[in-house]
Amino acid sequence: MRDVAARCARFTVRTLRGEWHGIVVDPVRRLAHRGLSGLVLAFVAAFGVIFFHAVAQRPAGEAVVRIAGGVQADLPLWLALLRTPVSLYVPALDLPVWAGITQLFLAFALAELTLGRGRTLFISYATTLAGTLTVRVMIALGPGWWGLGLPPEAGRVLDTGPSAAVVGLFTYLSVVRRAPVVFFLTGGSMVVESVVKPNLAGREHLIAVAAAIVLALFHGRGPGRLPGRAAALARWRRSPAPSAAPAAAPAGPRPHRPPRPRRHPVLPGANVRDSS
């Protein structure tokens, strides 16, 4: 039992140490190297939420925010897709905005420093869109279907906004960086939320977690990240062809050749007959 406990303790320490370096130490080092330019998406997301929250404090502004970034399942699909990018910056009006801004800034900051801007934008948009489209399927199924279907009234409820992107980014980072603590804090809290308070937002959060896990399983499998022999073969094909070297002389004794006759120089007046 002591041996098993010691192994479990060593495994736990290694896991926590690797998670600490992957989630905290490595992003901080990249931030020190890149400076504030590595937090562009985090600042844009935070200021976007603050801006839309300030605009929505007035009735006219709330209507403008709802028209610009409010996504509902009863909207036409083209209109929902058009509003989805803006909905990443539209906070839920019934939740404390400052706590959400802190989580949003931290999620985008860690993702941008770890994954890059392009992948961060893709993951945040893909997880949000997955929740939006899946809710439409649930409403189309109708009530029942072992609790998967939703009544038509759910189509008039606003989507989660930036919280689905936050959950998706944290889940993706935890899988890629092998951070079980962050994963259980993210995915586990979403499961608890769905059980304690079942609503549309809880379902969309679970869908975002599932979509992030699927996307993380394909992390690093692009054409530029070939594993093992495939990468070595690709490097060999890209290497320039070696220049042709001159053929070496065959080994062995040289063939016998008769000596060439020597040609003596003709001196002036030598071997010349007098014609007179």
Place of tokens 């189309």: 140
Give dist(CA 2, CA 10) in Å, integer: 12
The CA-based angle 101-104-110, given to 5 degrees, is 135
Q: What DSSP letter does each residue of 88-155 carry, written as one string?
A: TT---TTS-HHHHHHHHHHHHHHHHHHH-HHHHHHHHHHHHHHHHHHHHHHHHH-S-TTTT---GGGG
Give dist(CA 100, CA 145) in Å, integer: 33
Structure tokens at 123: 């993951």
Q: For residue 274, what pLDDT is reported?
A: 45
Q: For residue 185, what pLDDT is reported?
A: 84
Which region, left, alpha or beta, applies to residue 248 given φ > 0 means left and ψ of -120 to 50 means alpha?
beta
Q: Describe the chain by its helix, strand, coil percentages, rounded to 5.
A: 65, 0, 35
CB atoms closer than 10 angstroms to residue 50: 15
Q: For residue 255, what pLDDT is reported?
A: 56
Q: For residue 110, what pLDDT is reported?
A: 92
In this structure, the dihedral spanned by the alpha carbons of residues 252, 253, 257 and 258, taken in order and rounded to 10 degrees, is 180
Spell out the domain ranges in the chain: 2-217
pLDDT tens, N- to C-terminus, the chain (276 residues): 777 777 888 877 888 888 888 888 888 888 888 888 889 999 999 998 889 888 888 888 888 888 888 888 888 889 889 988 888 888 776 666 677 788 889 999 999 999 989 999 999 999 999 988 998 888 888 887 677 788 888 888 887 778 889 999 999 999 998 888 888 888 778 778 777 777 888 888 889 999 999 999 887 654 434 344 434 444 544 545 444 444 555 555 555 565 665 555 554 554 444 443
**CB contact at 8 A, 54 and 89:** no
Q: For residue 123, what pLDDT is reported?
A: 94
Length of the chain: 276
**CB contact at 8 A, 124 and 108:** yes
Instruction: Say how far residue 149 (Cα) sits from the centre of its chain.
Output: 31
**CB contact at 8 A, 19 and 182:** yes
Amino acid, single-letter form, for residue 190: M
Interval 29-58: pLDDT, tens: 888 888 888 899 999 999 988 898 888 888
What's the CATH fold of domain 2-217? Rhomboid-like fold (1.20.1540)
